[in-house]
């Protein structure tokens, strides 16, 4: 392995692709391909570790170069040193992780570097940077009977960014299908140029996904020395080698100790079960399914580790405070209660998109804090895995990804299943409608509203927005007709009661404000008021 100073100096030296001899290049590349589905890149790789890396580097060369340039520019804004020293400092720091990378993955890294025209340490950076500089949020669930129609396991995952600027990764996301010469075929979603995994499915029917949490003490980490094994390396090992939940747990525990609070849900088609594995330092706890489901939303829930969670011990949380302290976990509780026998891939997508689908019928999210929803305004991508059928759905890349199309794949055949795609919601159109309304362009705002309605139908929030735009456009009669329809259909809901207040402005009812387009990102608030300017109010506190 190179020395840290040697790796640091590589930042000052350009490197070119190292092409294999022509015949060998053709042989290796004939077993790989790349395609694009919507905004998502899809890579199909096979062979030895080096060959899969080489295929990856050659096929995604331009993407890797572009991503590298954007990532370095971003890192330069984070470190308090001269810009020209940022890359060597990054290489120097990353070089310490070489000792945590197994030999086969170092070979794959070399293949990526040769194929793309990069230094191997740059592939290491792309793999370890999540441990070094960037953490994430994420949430996940797994369920069997009595929730799924056929009783088999379904596993859903939202990968959340922590900051809006981390969305630089979006154009460089890829669904990567591996057929390694040793180990199990598997798939994952990650940025190009990395060898790790955040979530995925393997040929033995093992599915895995990762979220994390923060602790209220450093006590569990105080004796940990050296660099931790990057967790995306541990998940990669699970996907490539595990055939059971116990084998997956054993692999995960071999990656300890870690100075982080990690949670993974491991599902198994053969066992038709799943667990949440919580780890911190040298400690771990297995949290089993309860009643056929298990889920995780960035907080420890096991008896062993819950007391260490920064958000507090949920076991000591009064029930009336659950929506305030653990809103996403509580939202999952409600979703599962309503989906006995109905949790197929489409319903799983609605879980990951929550609360937008429920808001359509008048649901008002009880917690209006930023990022208190399952779908967040910075949800990068989402996955749904049906292990028994060997099918996966991966979302498109426009943030939040889960509101876009979910593209279906046959894992075993490594092919697209467009007939099983789950279509996008109208969320992105509604969001644009709200943005244009904020800017005062009511004409274009109405155009995007109509597009949202064409996708979602006449939902309650979209009809409230239609009434506001009709009235502010001078058609009060049309607005009253729209509001009357809302009251007739949804009069018992809070947004329905708000519509009644708008119809009868003399009333003094105390009605809660309604977010638009969603509690996910409330750019506007609908409120009771005498004038329309008081009824539709921009949310000046909403960040990106």
258: which strand partners?
281
| Helix%, strand%, coil% for the chain, nearest 5 | 45, 20, 35
Residue 37 placed within a domain: no
What is the mean predicted confidence (pLDDT) over 13-18?
Answer: 91
Question: What are the angstrom distances between the C-alpha of 502 and each of 40, 464, 495?
Answer: 43, 10, 11
d(CA 430, CA 394): 22
The three-class DSSP label of residue 371 is coil
At 202, which helix (H) or strand (E)?
strand 199-202
Sign of the Cα torsion 369, 71, 429, 344 reads negative
Same domain, 230 and 176: yes
The CATH number for 275's domain is 3.60.60.10
Predicted local distance difference test score (pLDDT) of residue 497: 95
Which residues have CB under 8 Å from 231's CB, separation 6+?
Answer: 130, 131, 210, 255, 258, 260, 262
Answer yes or no: are the C-beta atoms of 112 and 57 closer than 8 Å.
yes
The pLDDT tens digits for 285-316 are 999 999 999 999 999 999 999 999 999 999 99
**Of residues 280, 284, 215, 273, the one with CA closest to residue 249:** 284
| Token representation of residue 196 | 């790790």
**CA R_g for the chain:** 25
Q: What is the 3-state secondary structure (H, E, C) of 388-433?
A: CCCEEEEECCCCCHHHCCEEEEECCCCEECHHHCECCCCHHHHHHH
What is the mean predicted confidence (pLDDT) over 506-519?
Answer: 89
Which of 425, 448, 464 represents a domain boundary (last residue)?
A: 425
Residue 521 placed within a domain: yes
For the chain, how many structural domains are there in total?
A: 3
What is the mean predicted confidence (pLDDT) over 366-377?
Answer: 95
Per-residue pLDDT at 83 exceeds 50? yes
309: which strand partners?
215
Per-residue pLDDT at 8 exceeds 90? no
Calculate the CA 387 to chain-centre distance: 19
What is the mean predicted confidence (pLDDT) over 459-464?
Answer: 98
Predicted local distance difference test score (pLDDT) of residue 543: 46
Same domain, 168 and 104: no
Same domain, 239 and 317: yes
Same domain, 165 and 21: no
Sign of the Cα torsion 135, 136, 141, 142 reads negative
d(CA 174, CA 205): 21
Per-residue pLDDT at 131 exceeds 90? no
Residue 216 placed within a domain: yes
Predicted local distance difference test score (pLDDT) of residue 225: 83
Same domain, 157 and 250: yes
Which of 104, 132, 160 represents a domain boundary (last residue)?
A: 132
What is the mean predicted confidence (pLDDT) over 373-380?
Answer: 97
Same domain, 198 and 324: yes
User: Is 0.85 topped by the overall pTM?
Assistant: yes
What is the mean predicted confidence (pLDDT) over 166-178?
Answer: 96
Which residues have CB under 8 Å from 155's CB, separation 6+?
Answer: 140, 141, 142, 201, 207, 209, 265, 267, 274, 383, 384, 385, 386, 387
Predicted local distance difference test score (pLDDT) of residue 522: 97
d(CA 236, CA 184): 11
The pLDDT tens digits for 310-346 are 999 999 999 999 999 999 999 999 999 999 999 999 9
What residues make up the domain containing 514?
428-538
Tell how strand 33-37 and strand 293-296 pair up.
unpaired
The pLDDT tens digits for 393-449 are 999 999 999 999 999 999 999 999 999 999 999 999 999 999 999 999 999 999 999
| Token representation of residue 490 | 């949804």
Same domain, 435 and 521: yes
Which pLDDT band, with edges at 50, 70 and 90, does 85 fall under? confident
Mean pLDDT of the chain: 94
Per-residue pLDDT at 125 exceeds 60? yes
Which of 370, 390, 425 represents a domain boundary (last residue)?
A: 425
Residue 81 placed within a domain: yes
Same domain, 475 and 445: yes
Which pLDDT band, with edges at 50, 70 and 90, does 525 fall under? very high
The pLDDT tens digits for 241-291 are 999 999 999 999 999 999 999 999 999 999 999 999 999 999 999 999 999
Which pLDDT band, with edges at 50, 70 and 90, does 89 fall under? confident
The pLDDT tens digits for 198-233 are 999 999 999 999 999 999 999 999 888 888 899 999
Predicted local distance difference test score (pLDDT) of residue 544: 42
Same domain, 295 and 208: yes
d(CA 168, CA 399): 11
If you write DSSP's letter for every residue of 305-351 in order, what string do you get? TGGGBTT--GGGS-GGGHHHHSHHHHHHHHHHHT-TTT-SHHHHHHH
Residue 39 placed within a domain: no
**Of residues 351, 320, 306, 317, the one with CA closest to residue 333:** 351
Per-residue pLDDT at 542 exceeds 60? no
Which pLDDT band, with edges at 50, 70 and 90, does 470 fall under? very high
């Amino acid at each position: 392995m190179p020395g840290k100073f040697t790796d640091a100096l590589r930042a000052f030296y350009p490197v070119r692709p190292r092409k294999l001899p022509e015949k060998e290049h053709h042989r290796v590349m004939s077993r790989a391909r790349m395609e694009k589905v919507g905004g998502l890149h899809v890579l199909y790789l096979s062979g030895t570790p080096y060959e899969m890396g080489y295929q990856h580097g050659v096929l995604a060369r331009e993407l890797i170069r572009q991503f590298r340039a954007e990532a370095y520019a971003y890192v330069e804004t984070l470190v308090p040193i001269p810009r020209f020293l940022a890359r060597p400092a990054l290489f120097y720091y990353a070089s310490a992780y070489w000792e945590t990378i197994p030999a086969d993955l170092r070979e794959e890294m070399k293949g990526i570097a040769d194929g793309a025209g990069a230094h191997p340490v740059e592939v290491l950076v792309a793999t370890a940077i999540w441990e070094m500089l960037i953490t994430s949020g994420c949430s996940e669930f797994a369920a069997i009977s009595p929730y799924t129609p056929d009783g088999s396991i379904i596993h859903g995952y939202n990968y959340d960014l922590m900051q809006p600027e981390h969305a630089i990764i979006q154009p460089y996301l890829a669904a990567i299908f591996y057929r390694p010469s040793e180990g199990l075929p598997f798939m994952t979603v990650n940025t190009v140029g990395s060898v790790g995994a955040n979530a995925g499915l393997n040929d033995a029917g093992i599915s895995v996904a990762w979220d994390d949490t923060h602790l209220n003490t450093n006590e569990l980490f105080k004796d940990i020395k050296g660099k931790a094994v990057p967790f995306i390396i541990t998940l990669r090992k699970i996907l490539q080698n595990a055939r059971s939940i116990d084998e997956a747990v054993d692999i995960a525990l071999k990656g300890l100790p870690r100075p982080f609070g990690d949670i993974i849900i491991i599902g198994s088609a053969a066992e038709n079960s799943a667990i949440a594995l919580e780890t911190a330092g040298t400690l771990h706890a297995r949290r089993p399914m309860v009643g056929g489901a298990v889920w995780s939303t960035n907080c420890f829930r096991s008896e062993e580790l819950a007391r260490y969670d920064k958000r507090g011990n949920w076991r000591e949380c009064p029930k009336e405070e659950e929506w305030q302290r653990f809103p996403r976990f509580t939202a999952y509780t409600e979703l599962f209660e309503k989906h006995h026998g109905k949790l197929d891939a489409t319903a799983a997508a609605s879980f990951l998109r929550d609360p937008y689908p429920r808001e359509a019928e008048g649901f008002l999210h009880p917690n209006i804090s930023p990022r208190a929803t399952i779908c967040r305004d910075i949800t990068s991508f989402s996955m749904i895995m049906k292990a028994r059928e060997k099918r996966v759905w991966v979302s498109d890349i426009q943030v939040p990804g889960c509101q876009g199309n979910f593209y279906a794949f046959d894992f075993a055949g490594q092919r697209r299943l467009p007939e099983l795609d789950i279509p996008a919601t109208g969320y992105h159109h509604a969001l644009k409608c709200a943005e244009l309304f904020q800017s005062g362009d009511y004409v274009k705002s109405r155009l995007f509203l109509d597009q949202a309605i064409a996708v979602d139908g006449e939902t309650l929030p979209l009809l409230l927005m239609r009434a506001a735009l009709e009235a502010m456009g001078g058609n009060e009669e049309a607005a009253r007709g729209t509001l009357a329809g809302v009251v007739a259909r949804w009069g018992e809901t809070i947004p329905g009661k708000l519509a009644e207040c708008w119809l009868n402005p003399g009333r003094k009812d105390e009605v809660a404000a309604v977010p638009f387009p969603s509690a996910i990102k409330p750019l506007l608030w609908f409120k009771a008021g005498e004038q329309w300017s008081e009824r539709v109010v921009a949310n000046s506190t909403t960040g990106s």
